[in-house]
């Protein structure tokens, strides 16, 4: 009840105000019926991310917004800012930590710099298949990792599918780990991703996503690794004619919220937000599957050579990574992942 009183006090400050007012990461907005008295203002959380509006994750956020409004009778909603207008992934995460932004979507790979345990998601071939991946995310371990950010002033609400990561290249096909040797491979700014490419004999090149098309086109990098929707929507197929289904990583996205903002919400809104997030995860998984199938069809139409490589050669090359000293802190988590049954 105390939390509700705090939130209603915010709304009470808006009595007589006919325009929206931004209070940190929260908008207190008069409801459509004109009510601005305590308890009648609409609580609106600011949610920002760097994806385009056609992306399945953005569509899932719009679904979450709709469900939150339905579950709270319009008392709570989301303002969703796409395309990096409020900053890139790391910048949005830092704003969430400070309570300047309510929510954001972040790859768990980007979380490695904030929470070392998130490295476990990026360990190559950590998951046996897609069913195993989701069993882990919905297990007590998955819930534990959603909550891990509390010590950094944020926490996860749900996971989103980002598919499996595969290699694609400009000059030659990648049929086994031997073909990675000597290649300049674009990776995310993730220690684990860089260690993976080195283990395969390549040279990791952290490059911003917005600069990657030009880097591939001009030969600054020879290859990249990502999922099917990213390959197609970025139009990287225009310069990369080889797509190798290596499936070396399955790194989830995570919807996170400022711990400070969450604790300031009424308890009924907190519960509704969690339910809306959970439902949006299910919605997003379906969209992701459909989008992936569509992108594979487009790739075939564009005459991209789709390769089924020697996956065991990649797996064997990556085995020593987990034995490095820097991975001591995730070995037990990795063991728990392997012990999770499908």
Task: Let me know whether 43 and 190 are in one domain.
Answer: no
Give the pTM: 0.86
Contact residues for 327 (Cβ-Cβ < 8 A; gap 6+): 119, 123, 321
State mean pLDDT over 155-176.
97
What is the tens place of the pLDDT at every residue in 256-312? 999 999 999 999 999 999 999 999 999 999 999 999 999 999 999 999 999 999 999
Tell me, what's the pLDDT at 139? 97
Task: Let me know whether 95 and 223 are in one domain.
Answer: no
Residue 237 in domain: yes
Residues in the chain: 342
Residue 119 in domain: no
Task: Let me know whether 277 and 301 are in one domain.
Answer: no
Task: Let me know whether 204 and 309 are in one domain.
Answer: yes
Q: How many beta carbons lie within 10 A of that of residue 37, not counting itself?
A: 13
Checking if the pLDDT of 13 tops 60, the result is no
120-149 burial, b at 16+ Cβ within 10 Å, e below that, comes to bbbbbbbbbebebbbbbbebebbeebbebb
pLDDT-derived band of residue 26, with 50, 70 and 90 as boundaries? Answer: confident
What is the tens place of the pLDDT at every residue in 106-136? 999 989 889 999 999 999 999 999 999 999 9
Task: Let me know whether 240 and 305 are in one domain.
Answer: yes
Task: Let me know whether 311 and 196 are in one domain.
Answer: yes
pLDDT-derived band of residue 54, with 50, 70 and 90 as boundaries? Answer: confident
Tell me, what's the pLDDT at 30? 73
Checking if the pLDDT of 6 tops 80, the result is no
Residue 27 structural domain: 2-111+136-156+252-285
Cα–Cα distance for residue pair 109/113, rounded to 1 Å: 8
Task: Let me know whether 245 and 261 are in one domain.
Answer: no
What is the tens place of the pLDDT at every residue in 240-253? 999 999 999 999 99
pLDDT-derived band of residue 11, with 50, 70 and 90 as boundaries? Answer: very low
How many domains in the chain? Answer: 2
pLDDT-derived band of residue 32, with 50, 70 and 90 as boundaries? Answer: low
Residue 129 in domain: no
Residue 29 in domain: yes
Q: Write down the H helix ranges in 164-248.
A: 191-199, 209-217, 228-233
Percent of the chain with pLDDT over 70: 90
Tell me, what's the pLDDT at 5? 47
Tell me, what's the pLDDT at 9? 41
Checking if the pLDDT of 90 tops 70, the result is yes
Task: Let me know whether 274 and 192 are in one domain.
Answer: no
- Which CATH number belongs to the domain containing residue 67 in this structure? 3.40.190.170
Task: Let me know whether 49 and 175 are in one domain.
Answer: no
Tell me, what's the pLDDT at 24? 56
Tell me, what's the pLDDT at 1? 46
């Amino acid at each position: 009840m105390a939390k509700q009183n705090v939130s209603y006090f915010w709304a009470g400050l808006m009595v007589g105000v006919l325009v929206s007012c931004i209070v940190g990461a929260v908008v207190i907005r008069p409801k459509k019926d004109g009510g601005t008295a305590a308890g009648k203002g609409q609580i609106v959380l600011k949610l920002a991310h760097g994806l385009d509006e056609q992306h399945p994750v953005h569509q899932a956020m719009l679904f979450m917004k709709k469900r939150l409004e339905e579950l709270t009778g319009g008392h709570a909603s989301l303002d969703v800012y796409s395309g990096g207008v409020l900053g890139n992934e790391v910048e949005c995460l830092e704003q969430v930590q400070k309570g300047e932004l309510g929510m954001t979507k972040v790859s768990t790979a980007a979380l490695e710099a904030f929470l070392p345990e998130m490295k476990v998601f990026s360990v190559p071939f950590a998951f046996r298949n897609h069913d195993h991946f989701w069993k882990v995310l919905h297990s007590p371990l998955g819930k534990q990792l959603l909550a891990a950010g509390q010590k950094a002033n944020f926490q996860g609400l749900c996971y989103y599918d980002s598919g499996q990561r595969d290699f694609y290249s400009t000059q030659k096909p990648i049929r086994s780990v031997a073909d990675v040797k000597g290649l300049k491979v674009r990776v995310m700014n993730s220690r684990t991703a860089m260690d993976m490419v080195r283990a395969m004999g390549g040279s990791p090149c952290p490059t911003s996503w917005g600069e990657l098309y030009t880097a591939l086109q001009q030969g600054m990098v020879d290859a990249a690794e990502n999922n099917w929707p990213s390959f197609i929507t970025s139009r990287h197929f225009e310069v990369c004619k080889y797509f190798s289904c290596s499936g070396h990583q399955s790194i989830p996205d995570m919807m996170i919220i400022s711990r400070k903002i969450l604790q300031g919400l009424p308890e009924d809104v907190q519960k509704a937000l969690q339910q809306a997030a959970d439902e949006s995860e299910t919605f997003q998984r379906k969209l992701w599957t459909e989008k992936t199938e569509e992108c594979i069809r487009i790739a075939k139409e564009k005459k991209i050579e789709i390769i089924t490589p020697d996956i065991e050669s990649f797996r064997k090359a990556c085995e020593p990574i987990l034995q490095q000293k820097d991975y001591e802190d995730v070995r037990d988590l990795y063991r728990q992942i392997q012990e999770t049954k499908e």
